[in-house]
Structure 1
Amino acid sequence: MPNDIDIERKIRFSDAISRRQFLRLATAAPLALANVRLAHAVPSLAFLPAAFDATHDSVLIWVRGDEAARVRVDFGNDAAPAQLTTGPSVALTKDTDYCATIPLNQLAPGRTWIYRIVDADSGKLLSEPARFRTAPTGAEPFTFAFSADMEESYQPFKIFDVIDSKQPDFFLHLGDIIYADHPKKSFRPSVSHYRSKHAANRKDLHLQNFSARYVTYAIWDDHETEDNCNSLNPHMEDALKVFKEYWPCKAVDAAALYRQFTWAGIDLFILDTRRFRSQQQMPDGSDKTMLGTAQKSWFKDRLKASTAPFKFIITSVPFHGGGTDTWGSYAAERGELVRFIRDEKISGTIFLTGDYHLVRDWTNAKTGLREYMAGPIASFTQYEHEPKARARYEKAGTFHYGDGYNFGLWRIDPAAGKARLEFIDAGGKTLFQTELSA
């Protein structure tokens, strides 16, 4: 790979660049984009931009500068990359740690879009071309990846290069995006502390490059606030504010992170298992909740109304797990959801989970529900942390892997009613695969 100086010598940005230049940059190999030095970029961006929560006609573009500025997004589809539309502008201010989210609306569905960040005052380019894809409205095949658990001290996050090689349409991050409380001796929960931890993870070039090429849908778990946190944690408001600054989303409730999106006729429900959670030590019963009244009602209504052949339910903690911080400690509410799915004859439900630093097929004969867990992206592994756990999972008789970094990759054919899952390790090796029919 050429070094930074070589790339800067060969590439000079101007307000009008050729189709060939634009496509070459937008499809650059991993890390090539992140290593580009822009000769005339003043002010500058702290990190590469990223795209979040795409729908069939919209997306959120995330930008983080290193000083106060006004920036805009210029964008266009890959069929005419040299003909960019001048997009909306936004101020980068100290109040939001120089982070900003720029919504793009009225986009065509099922297309790859290319965008770049421009200084709104001078017109100078601040970023190389990045890209995202809007959700198709037709039942066309697509691919997505998912995983969890990403700790600063385990950088570089090289597994994102492996995920990139699979060219997913989007990525689901299932939580523990930072470990704000690691190391414990330096944990000082505050807005400034959470910002520093998110920025530290964003510095990873593999993550930056990947996020500039694929749409991300992210949800938090506990370590974005504090280990095993619940709704009574006094630092949750600060953690939520900063999470939204660095990982924007189109949440249903401004005070939480839950939402739904649809891709090629497949519905995905992202649940917030922290914001409204009762204390873990509370006796189980009808009053103990992980979702809270409003979110649970929303989820039931949306799930019942869905006609999608597959309905993916994203929960940051294991649905069939038995630990005190999982759904096992909220068994009454879990049972309520199981009965609801059964009684309403809702088919095609698939739970995707993280948190355990483990791959596992959690499919449960008793509930009749499928659950698949992935992670970590980069953190300690389950069997490194708890060697005795291996024997426990062996007894379950389903696939498990807790020896290395990993992710799940789904290939969905909505028209055929087929969904194929692979779990893949950091070396690109397939660990497990299965195919489901709607």
Structure 2
Amino acid sequence: MAAPVAHTAAGDVTTGTVPNLGTVTVAKPANTSSGDVLVAVLNSSVSGGTWDVVPAGWTQQAMFAVQRNTAVFTKPIPSAAAETATDYTWHTTGGAGRTGAIVFRCTGVDGAQPVDAVGAGVGSGTTSIVDPAVTAVSGEALLLAVFSSYLNTGTANTITPPPGMSSVGGYTINSGTATTVHLVCAQALSAAGSTGTRTASVAPAGTGAAGIMLTLNPGSVPGPPEPPVAHTTADDTAAASVTSSAVLRVPRPAATANGDLLVAVLAHRNSGPAFTTIPPGWAPAPVAYTANGVLAAYWRHVTDAAGEPPVYTWRSPNGAARAAATVFRVTGAAPPTADGGPIDAAGAATGAGTTAIVDPAATLTAPATLLLACHMTTATSTATPVVSPPAAMTQIAAVPVVTGSASLHLQVSGQGVTASGSSGTRTAAVSPAAGSVAGFLLAIAPPGYGTAQPPQLRARLAGGVTTDQARVTAATQFTSAVRFARSTSPAMTSPTYTAATAPDRDGLAAAVFTGLTPGTRYWWAVELDGTLETGHLGTFRTLPAPGEPTSFSFAAASCADTNSNADSFADAAARTGPTGEPALFTVHLGDMHYQDIGTDDPAWALAAWLNALGQPNQAALYAAAPLAYTWSDHDFGGSNVAADSPAAAAVQAVYRRLVPSHPLPGDGAGIYQSWQVGRVLFVMTDGRSYASPITAPDTATKTKLGAAQKAWLKDQFAAPGVGLVIWCHEDAWHNASTFTGDDTWSAYATERAELAAYIQANDVPLLYVHGDVHALSHDDGSHVPGRFPLISVSPWDQTTFIGNGALTSGFYPDPVSTTVKSQQYGWFDVLDNGTQIVVRALGIADGQVVLRTEMSWGITRHLGWGIPL
């Protein structure tokens, strides 16, 4: 490798001087080329001070400020086209004086580490200036020697280069009463080690002098990165459209490979918020149009192509409408690492235009980007307004949607851009004229550039709490390592950590806190890549020893509309019982969402749950108390579904990854479980995973629980040393057999009669708590098969309805409404003095107690119920 070369021809060197200022500006050499390293040598007649204003991209490599101030700066030029500056400005804090700069081109310099070695400065000399030696590390370096001489007269002197060195350039500054002469010399070296001193002659003698030497490393300046590439063949893109739906399901491009960036662009005719349910691992771009329809973009970095789901699902919160989507592969994009990420910039969104869409400019920061132009048109005509790519851009995908009387067109174009700065606007033609349009620009960065994605915590849950352990899970994004921390202090002092674990492909991580103390409150948090998320604390209290009389409270309810952030969740999180403690846990009895997945899509199942868990008020509840959760029909797969639901395998698998629970059956399907608090045994059953279709004949073979779960349930009822069994089940037990409008126990009357007979024959001390019926109600057992009390606790956030069975308390609200949502839940205070267990059940609606009943088991089994308050 040869030594670097300093170029000295016209266009290779520029200078700038001022006689009495601290600021100097010098033009960029006209011949600046890709691969150059520019060198700037500055001198100020004022000693001391620093250079506090330095042009972007320049690095100070040397400075000697004892006599005057001499400094050397370098700047690599990967791309001359991207180097849009036309001049460079420095400022020194030393004050006004004779200030000058010379900038020259060097080639063959290592752009990553331009300077090989720097010598000591010198501040003396009249007829000669002796620069101290520098010890070169490289055997083939370029030696630069800097000299300056000054006179206290208006006459300049001359500096002659040292023997063996050639002049690069210099300048003279005259302030009327004093003059500074500055010279830079260069010499190619062929050996490492001491260069020896270099002596420049000065004539006539100067009043003072300054000098310094340094060597430049041989090497090269890496060229500018190539823009990422959007691929457009049939195997590289995928599309989907619907004529009237809130759900868009887009296939994975067939050629998807490790390292790809998948980009999705979606258009939905209904205006409102952008898509709220997005596939796990996808992130929204920082721009979307939502004012007259929705146009939005999302991205996902692929690390395991073989494990990618076959379909990606988005769901709009804005109701059913015509919609379109495309997913396409991009290669050469930055991964979401600490030194950058795929999104470089985004322009503002626009909704203006009928025959043209003018996308506002984006400010590109990387020297090379893939610029995407995303467009949507709509019309109340089947003549679809088609978008043509803007000038110099290539179409990546176009998806038309035509209904019986209207149309929509989604179009995406791309262009590789090799300069930073403003992208300028992009104009796409529309023909025929559209009723409404939307558009924006989005820039994808190459590796090493763009916006880094910090680790994100999307959701966290605690559950399966016992006397000495608790299970926790976290849903994360852009995270490589997760630990869970616990402490007995809300300040998280002296925390105990679980072992670090890598989140799975969807960002899920799980752990178990062990070695806990019974009856003790703990706080816990999630650590993402070494940072403890103390702004997202959870808390739980371990259980007392089984059989030990204990008083506590818990909350229970079901049925929250999709995307619900109802106040009922926050109210339950903040409420405390007679002991002064919050709920020991929350029992969720199903229908956490109403997405009605209806297909074997684990990614959609996970996204639907994460969407609910990420709502602020729901997140607050699940942070305030552990969750015990069983599904109902809408979150199992669809209205009134049974074990044959196409979504069953997906939701069963995802539940086990996401929800921390008490031990589950080993068949990988059912989620029935039990846990004991003191003398109270909680039994939570699964009415879906083994259920016969509700339309099947109601015979002895028709089942809601399945044989194994039913046998397990009977064993739970017969457990010794239990003062009360609280059976938590998703739907109603009491409806008459003529109730055919839903899938409650009335459709499984034969199995219900079998269980009722068992309960009565074994005198099981039982309370049944259920949801599904969207009302608060209570029965003392007189209208219930099996003669045990039951409580209906619903809905968290839904319209209301009831079944057709009689109830001793009636129901709330009365009358029900099919249009107005209620926000309700049940609150239970369990008081055990060792002789008698009293359960005080409260029906809470809009934060107020609207129903109250009290039941007891023990010396005197008394059943009572209150009236609406």
- Tell me the TM-score normalised to structure 2 length: 0.42
Query: Which residue of the other structure, out of 122, 126, 132, is the alignment partner of 2:540?
Result: 132
Q: How many Å separate the matches in 2 of 1:79 and 1:196?
A: 30
Note the alpha carbon deviations across 1:133-179, whole angstroms, 9 max, x for none. Answer: 111223221001100001225x3222112112212121100011111
The corresponding residue for 2:641 is: 229
Matched, 1:311 2:725: yes
Query: Which residue of the other structure, out of 734, 748, 755, is the alignment partner of 1:330?
Result: 748
Q: How many Å separate the matches in 1 of 2:687 and 2:727?
A: 12
Matched, 1:432 2:863: no
Q: How many Å separate the matches in 1 of 2:491 and 2:797?
A: 38
Describe how 1:249-398 pairs up with structure 2 within 5 A: 249-250=661-662, 251-253=664-666, 254-322=668-736, 323-324=739-740, 325-346=743-764, 348-365=765-782, 367-382=786-801, 396-398=807-809
Judging changes above 3 Å, is the alpha-carbon distance between structure 1 residues 174 and 98 closer, same or farther for their aligned structure 2 residues?
same
- Distance apart, 1:369 and its partner CA: 1.2
Contact 2:550 2:678 in 1 (8 A): yes
The corresponding residue for 2:832 is: 414
Contact 1:151 1:201 in 2 (8 A): no
- Distance apart, 1:59 and its partner CA: 1.2
Note the alpha carbon deviations across 1:237-277, whole angstroms, 9 max, x for none. Answer: 01222233332323133321001001122100000110000
Query: Which residue of the other structure, out of 172, 187, 190, is the alignment partner of 2:587?
Result: 172
Q: Which has the larger radius of gyration?
A: 2
Cα RMSD (Å) of the superposition?
2.2
Query: Which residue of the other structure, out of 82, 92, 96, is the alignment partner of 2:503?
Result: 92
- Distance apart, 1:311 and its partner CA: 0.7
Query: Which residue of the other structure, out of 659, 684, 690, is the alignment partner of 1:247?
Result: 659
Q: How many Å separate the matches in 2 of 1:307 and 1:320?
A: 28
Q: How many Å separate the matches in 1 of 2:696 and 2:761?
A: 28
Contact 1:152 1:179 in 2 (8 A): yes
Note the alpha carbon deviations across 1:262-293, whole angstroms, 9 max, x for none. Answer: 11221000001100001111111211111111
Q: Which amino acid in structure 1 is aligned with residue 540 of structure 2? A: F
Query: Which residue of the other structure, out of 615, 619, 630, is the alignment partner of 1:204?
Result: 615
Contact 1:67 1:92 in 2 (8 A): no
- Distance apart, 1:362 and its partner CA: 3.7
Where does structure 2 lack aligned partners over 5 or more consecutive residues?
1-451, 576-581, 817-821, 858-869
Contact 1:363 1:369 in 2 (8 A): yes
Q: How many Å separate the matches in 2 of 1:425 and 1:363?
A: 21
Paired residue secondary structure (1:342):
helix
Matched, 1:161 2:570: yes
Contact 1:47 1:208 in 2 (8 A): no
Matched, 1:149 2:564: no
Contact 1:146 1:173 in 2 (8 A): yes
Contact 1:45 1:127 in 2 (8 A): no
Q: How many Å separate the matches in 2 of 1:318 and 1:413?
A: 25
Q: Which amino acid in structure 2 is aligned with residue 361 of structure 1? A: H
The corresponding residue for 1:58 is: 469
Note the alpha carbon deviations across 1:399-433, whole angstroms, 9 max, x for none. Answer: 3013522111111112242111111112x211111
Paired residue secondary structure (1:357):
coil
Q: Where is the strand percentage greater, Structure 1 or Structure 2?
A: 2
Q: How many Å separate the matches in 2 of 1:423 and 1:216?
A: 19
Contact 2:468 2:514 in 1 (8 A): yes
- Distance apart, 1:190 and its partner CA: 1.8
Q: How many Å separate the matches in 1 of 2:453 and 2:550?
A: 42
State the percentage of identical aligned residues: 22
- Distance apart, 1:233 and its partner CA: 1.6
79-88 or 252-261: bigger deviation: 79-88
Contact 1:376 1:405 in 2 (8 A): yes
Q: How many Å separate the matches in 1 of 2:605 and 2:520?
A: 35
- Distance apart, 1:310 and its partner CA: 1.6
Note the alpha carbon deviations across 1:320-358, whole angstroms, 9 max, x for none. Answer: 124441111111111111111111122x20000011111
Contact 1:221 1:316 in 2 (8 A): yes
- Distance apart, 1:48 and its partner CA: 4.3
Judging changes above 3 Å, is the alpha-carbon distance between structure 1 residues 67 and 414 closer, same or farther for their aligned structure 2 residues?
same
Q: Where is the helix percentage greater, Structure 1 or Structure 2?
A: 1
Contact 2:600 2:646 in 1 (8 A): no
Contact 2:459 2:613 in 1 (8 A): no
Q: How many Å separate the matches in 2 of 1:364 and 1:43?
A: 55
Q: How many Å separate the matches in 2 of 1:79 and 1:359?
A: 35
Q: How many Å separate the matches in 2 of 1:127 and 1:284?
A: 53
Contact 1:176 1:220 in 2 (8 A): yes
Q: How many Å separate the matches in 2 of 1:79 and 1:375?
A: 32
Q: How many Å separate the matches in 2 of 1:265 and 1:172?
A: 18
- Distance apart, 1:77 and its partner CA: 2.0
Q: Which amino acid in structure 2 is aligned with residue 425 of structure 1? A: A
Paired residue secondary structure (1:57):
coil
311-320 or 234-243: bigger deviation: 234-243
Judging changes above 3 Å, is the alpha-carbon distance between structure 1 residues 422 and 207 closer, same or farther for their aligned structure 2 residues?
same
Contact 1:266 1:414 in 2 (8 A): no
Query: Which residue of the other structure, out of 530, 543, 546, is the alignment partner of 1:123?
Result: 530
Q: How many Å separate the matches in 1 of 2:609 and 2:797?
A: 15
- Distance apart, 1:307 and its partner CA: 2.7
Contact 2:780 2:808 in 1 (8 A): no
Note the alpha carbon deviations across 1:292-323, whole angstroms, 9 max, x for none. Answer: 11111111112112432221001101111244
Contact 1:157 1:204 in 2 (8 A): no
The corresponding residue for 1:11 is: none
Q: How many Å separate the matches in 1 of 2:823 and 2:464?
A: 25
Where does structure 1 lack aligned partners over 5 or more consecutive residues?
1-40, 384-388
Judging changes above 3 Å, is the alpha-carbon distance between structure 1 residues 203 and 81 closer, same or farther for their aligned structure 2 residues?
closer
Q: How many Å separate the matches in 1 of 2:809 and 2:853?
A: 12
Contact 1:112 1:132 in 2 (8 A): yes
Q: How many Å separate the matches in 2 of 1:197 and 1:80?
A: 33
Contact 2:675 2:683 in 1 (8 A): yes
Q: How many Å separate the matches in 1 of 2:644 and 2:638?
A: 12
75-84 or 193-202: bigger deviation: 75-84
Describe how 1:33-44 pairs up with structure 2 within 5 A: 43-44=454-455
- Tell me the TM-score normalised to structure 1 length: 0.81
Q: How many Å separate the matches in 1 of 2:610 and 2:601?
A: 14
Q: How many Å separate the matches in 2 of 1:165 and 1:76?
A: 21
Contact 1:44 1:126 in 2 (8 A): no
Q: How many Å separate the matches in 1 of 2:830 and 2:749?
A: 31
- Distance apart, 1:126 and its partner CA: 3.3
Judging changes above 3 Å, is the alpha-carbon distance between structure 1 residues 195 and 314 closer, same or farther for their aligned structure 2 residues?
same
Note the alpha carbon deviations across 1:80-139, whole angstroms, 9 max, x for none. Answer: 941211223322122xx21222122221111111112113xx522234332111112232
Paired residue secondary structure (1:139):
coil
Q: Which amino acid in structure 2 is aligned with residue 173 of structure 1? A: H
